[in-house]
Amino acid sequence: MNSRTNTRSPGQLIPKRAAYLIGSLAPLLICAATDAGASVDARDYPGPASSPYLVGAAIGVLSWLTFYFSDEPIGASSFYAHLAGFLGKVVAPLHTKSLTYFKDNPPHVGWEFVFVIAVIIGGAIAALTGGEFTNEWLSPMWVARFGDSIALRAIITFAGGMLMAFGARLAGGCTSGHGISGTLQLNLASWIAVICIFIGGVGVAIPLFKW
């Protein structure tokens, strides 16, 4: 999701921030109520990975704090648009400047850019500290299904990334902008987008790894 200038007064933001807080905490409360009768300890998760319960709750709190302090949603897809703009300025500067999108949204290092870089660094730290860092090009699941060709993996990964980026820009948000920020605001378009994301993921995973 694209950033926007905050022109509202603090008094106007209070009801909205309260709604964000309720939206962030509601799913967590529902899950807690559902698991009340089950012996599930969110802190006791097998393996070196962090507990998905705690991480999910932390993401919800992070979203609420982001809205509260900056009145901006968490989003990642804009990073790739800005990155493409930077690369375009190097490879074809005149063509890049002539594009309508970059006229309205000139590439710059904003909060979205820093957010994605921080996610990459944080993921690396989590993998190293959690004992899950693996120095491999191909996962065992991929090798069992498609063989050990790194070139094939690179082609499919690149094509999949292009489709995901196109879909995110077409939908006006990604799994972060819609899946986290939009759904906790009970945004109908975000819920539809997330449902479509899951349907698309299942629809691709089944023929790739099951058939």
154-203 per-position pLDDT tens digit: 998 899 888 888 888 888 888 888 888 888 888 888 899 889 888 988 88
Tokens representing 26 are 């509601």
Q: What is the pLDDT of residues 20-78, one digit of tens each?
A: 555 555 555 455 544 444 455 545 555 656 677 788 888 888 888 888 887 878 888 88
Query: Structure pTM?
Result: 0.62
Among 21-25, 82-86, 135-139, which range has the highest average pLDDT?
82-86
* 175 close to 116: Cβ distance less than 8 angstroms: no
Taking phi first (over 0 means left), then psi (-120 to 50 degrees means alpha), and beta for anything else, what does residue 93 get? alpha
pLDDT at 87: 92
Q: For residue 28, give the nearest of 53, 65, 62 by alpha carbon.
A: 53
**Is residue 91 scored above 70 in pLDDT?**
yes
